[in-house]
Amino acid sequence: MFEESNPLNSYLEDTTDQENPLLKKVNRETYLKETMPHMLSGHYQGRVLAMLSKMVHPRLALEIGTFTGYATLCLAEGLEDNGALHTIDINEEQQERVQSYFDESPYASQIKYHIGDAAEVIPTIEGEFDLVFIDADKKRNLYYFNTLIDRVRPGGLILIDNVLWKGKVFNENPDKQTQQVIELNQTLAEDKRVEKLILPIRDGLFVLRKK
């Protein structure tokens, strides 16, 4: 786990593929216009998401928590030519700007942007998922995992963000929200349906491969 400003992060960004112009635009405008820009996946984690997506090459992918669409665009890089990525967010205020980013991308026809409660939207999406990225309401992470695990194909990936919770998971007396993250991690570590590991990048990315 590391902070965006430290030397390790700078070195990692310098030695990976660079952001394309659209991702640079999303990054820049997020920091200019959003009150919580740190929610953006960012350059290095974006490249990790893109790499994982390209390895899975999904026909059907799902993202819970769009924010400003940076991770969405990274995940879309790995889609099959006729693949689709459904992304869900509760915030209507960003819809017009985020949709404009998708429209500007090569994946405009493949990204299906939903505004609403993910618990209500997910049942309306048909098919078996190859890749799922969960980056939304942390209290619901286990609910999303349990809801989706039977809809992910064998060999498919479920990715869950923020599982190190700014290092608070190591606290001896964790607060309630941190305790929820700890319990999620413990539950997933014991789940025999998936192979799993946590990548200690940004705020921790849980990578789970369905057996």
Q: How far is CA 29 from CA 10, 68, 121, in A?
A: 20, 9, 28
pLDDT computed for residue 2 by the predictor: 47
| The pLDDT of residue 6 | 78
6 to 2, 44, 58, 67, 130: CA distances (angstroms): 7, 13, 33, 24, 34
pLDDT per position as a tens digit, 10-42: 899 999 999 999 999 999 999 999 999 999 999
Q: What is the pLDDT of residue 3?
A: 54
pLDDT tens across 52-89, in order?
999 999 999 999 999 999 999 999 999 999 999 999 99
- Spatial neighbors of 157 by CB under 8 A, at least 6 apart, are 52, 56, 130, 131, 132, 207, 208, 209, 210
Boundaries of every domain in the chain: 7-210
Q: Phi and psi for 94 in degrees, rounded to 5?
A: -95, -5
Instruction: Give residue 36's identity as a one-letter amino acid code.
Output: M
Provide the CATH number for the domain formed by 7-210 in this structure.
3.40.50.150
Token pair of 211, please? 């057996």
Taking residues 177-204, what's their average pLDDT? 95
Q: Is the pLDDT of residue 100 over 60?
A: yes
Q: Are 96 and 119 in contact (CB under 8 A)?
A: no
Q: How many residues does the chain have?
A: 211
pLDDT averaged over every residue in the chain: 95
| Residues 62 and 89 sit within 8 Å (Cβ to Cβ) | no
Residue 107 CB contacts under 8 Å (≥ 6 apart), including other chains: 73, 76, 77, 79, 85
Instruction: List beta partners, residue 161.
Output: 205
Question: Is this structure's pTM higher than 0.85?
Answer: yes
